[in-house]
Amino acid sequence: MAVTSWPDLLLACLFPLALLALGCGLFQSTTLSDVHDLVSLKSLAKKTGLFSLESALKSYASYPSLARNELARMRKSYSTLSRAHKRVGYNLGYPRKLDKLQSATDVNSIVTNAIADLAKAEFDLENSTSGSDANIGRVRESLKHFVRDWSEECREERDRMFKPILDVFRKIDVEERSGHKVLVPGCGLGRLAWEISELGFDTTANELSYFMILAFRFLLSSTTTTSSNEHTIRPYAHWFSHQRTVDSVFRSIPFPDVVPRLSSRFNLVERDFLTLSAPPTPPLHGYHNITTLFFIDTSLNIIETIEHIYTLLRPGGTWINLGPLLWSAGAQAKVELSLGEVIDVAEAVGFIFDHEGMDGTRGSRTVDCEYTADSKAMMQWIYKAEFWVAKKPK
Ligand SMILES: C[S@@+](CC[C@H](N)C(=O)[O-])C[C@H]1O[C@@H](n2cnc3c(N)ncnc32)[C@H](O)[C@@H]1O
Ligand SMILES: *[C@@H]1O[C@H](CO)[C@@H](O)[C@H](O)[C@H]1NC(C)=O
Ligand SMILES: *[C@@H]1O[C@H](CO)[C@@H](O)[C@H](O)[C@H]1NC(C)=O
C-alpha cells in the first residue's frame, strides 16, 4: 500500500489528525487586512510554517514527483517477492495495478499542477526549491476535501451536517438576510460558507491553511474553473486499504458540482481566526452569527477560541457549532476538554445555550456524520458530532 509511515497513515485515514501539529502553523501577524496585499502575504506566509503558502505551493508542485517516489518504493517492495509469489502477483495483475496508480496520479497531477500554477500567478511567486518541506499527505487530504465539499459523491455527507446549520439560517426572513454578517472560521474548502451566502447572508469564509486556501482559490478563479464537473480526480488511489475492488480504488470523481465565486456577499479572509476583529457595523459591532463546523477541536487553546468567538459576535448574536471533539493539536493543545467542560467554558464566557429543537443536555444535540468518507470503502468512521446554538446576551 501507498502508506509508508505512521503519520502518513493517520493523514490517510482521518483528516483532523492531519492537523496534529497545527500549533506550529499558528501565526500572530496583525498586519494583513487585505487579501490582495501581496507584499504582506509574502512575509506572512514565511511565518506560518507547516501550513504556509510556501509549504503548500511546494507540496502541490511536488505532488507528481513525490507520488512517483512512493510508487517506486511500492514497486521495489513488490520486486522483493520470491519468483513463485511474483508469479501469483503477476496472475493477479498486481504490476498492472501499480501502473494504474501511476495513471491515477497523472490524473491528479493535472489538478495539483494547476493549483500550483495559479498560486504562483496570484501570489507572484517562483518555484520554491528551498525552505519548507513538501508534504504529499496534506495534498492528498485536500483532494479529498474537493470530494467532501464540492462533489455529488459526498452530497449525503454534506446534507447531514449542513441541514441543522442551514435550517437555523433559513428561519430568518429573506429581506433581513443581506444585512446579516456571518463568519465561518476554519472553512476548509468553503462549501458551508458558500451555502450560507447563497441563502442571502453577507458571509465571510476564513481559513489559515494554504493547503486549503490554494485549493479553494483554484475553484474560485475563472482562469482555472469555469463549469461544473470540469475537473476529475482519483482521490482514493493512494490508499489500497479497505477496498473491495481495484476499480473502486481508482475510480474518478468529478468536481465541482457547482462553481463558487467570491462576491459582495461572499468573501474569503486568509489568516488566523484569532487575529480577526469584529466588523464595525454601527450601531452594534460584530458578526451577527459565527458558524463553526469541525473547527473548535483544532484549537491550541479552546478557551481562547470560545472567548474570541464571543468577542467577534455582536450583542444578541449567535454561535452555531457542529463537530466532534478530536483534539487535533495533539500534545500541543493546552487543554483537552470533554463536551461538558466545553459547554461549561462557553457558559462561563457568557454564552446562553438555546434549547429549542435540542434533545441533548444543556441545549445541544448529537448528529451522526462522516468526514471525507469513501462511500465504497470497507471501513466507516462515524462521528457523533455535537450541534448547538448559543447566544451572546444583548
Ligand atoms: C477539521 S478542518 C474542517 C474544515 C471545514 N470546516 C470542514 O468541515 O470541512 C479544520 C480547519 O480549520 C482550519 N483552522 C484551524 N485553526 C484555524 C485558525 N486559527 N484560523 C483559521 N483556520 C483555522 C484548519 O486549517 C482546517 O482547514
Ligand atoms: C517552475 O516549474 C515549472 C514546472 O513545474 C517549469 O515549467 C518552470 O520553468 C519553472 N520556473 C522556474 C522559474 O523555475
Ligand atoms: C443571527 O444573529 C441574530 C442577532 O444578531 C439573531 O437574531 C439570529 O437569530 C441569528 N441567526 C442564526 C441563524 O442564529
Phi, psi of 350, rounded to the nearest 5 degrees: 130, -5
Q: Which residue bears the cell 502477483?
A: 89
At 48, is the pLDDT very low, low, confident or very high (cuts 50, 70, 90)? low
At 130, is the pLDDT very low, low, confident or very high (cuts 50, 70, 90)? low
Distance 371 CA to ligand 3 centre (A): 27
Grid cell at residue 349: 464566557
61 CB less than 6 Å from ligand 2?
Answer: yes
- Spatial CB neighbours of 86, under 8 Å, sequence gap ≥ 6: 78, 79
317 CB less than 6 Å from ligand 3?
Answer: yes
Q: Which of 47-51, 283-287, 315-319 has the lowest mean pLDDT?
A: 47-51
pLDDT value, residue 132: 67
Q: Which ligand is nearest to the CA of 185?
A: 1
Query: Residue 30 pLDDT > 80, yes or no?
Result: no
Tell me, rounded to whole angstroms, the distance of Cα 376 from its chain centroid.
21
Domains and CATH numbers, the chain: 135-392 (3.40.50.150)
Torsion of CA 314, 316, 319, 320, to 10 degrees: -130
Distance 49 CA to ligand 3 centre (A): 36
| Site to substitute for ligand 2 among 110, 127, 129, 130, most atoms within 8 A of C-beta | 127
Percentage of the chain modeled with pLDDT above 90? 79
Higher pLDDT, 48 or 60: 60
pLDDT value, residue 317: 97
Spatial distance between the Cα atoms of 302 and 289, rounded to a whole number of angstroms: 19
127 CB less than 6 Å from ligand 2?
Answer: yes
At 129, is the pLDDT very low, low, confident or very high (cuts 50, 70, 90)? low
Query: What pTM was estimated for this model as a whole?
Result: 0.87
212 CB less than 6 Å from ligand 1?
Answer: yes
pLDDT value, residue 281: 79
pLDDT value, residue 128: 62
Higher pLDDT, 20 or 292: 292
Cβ atoms 105, 71 nearer than 8 A: yes
What is the residue-averaged pLDDT of the chain? 88
Distance 213 CA to ligand 1 centre (A): 11
At 282, is the pLDDT very low, low, confident or very high (cuts 50, 70, 90)? confident
pLDDT value, residue 19: 34
pLDDT value, residue 331: 77
The ligand 3 atom nearest the CA atom of 313: 5
Q: Tell me which amino acid residue 148 is.
A: R
Query: Residue 20 pLDDT > 70, yes or no?
Result: no
3-state SS record for 230-289: CEEECCCCCCCCCCCCHHHHCCCEEECCCCCCCECCEEEEECCHHHCCCCCCCCCCCEEE
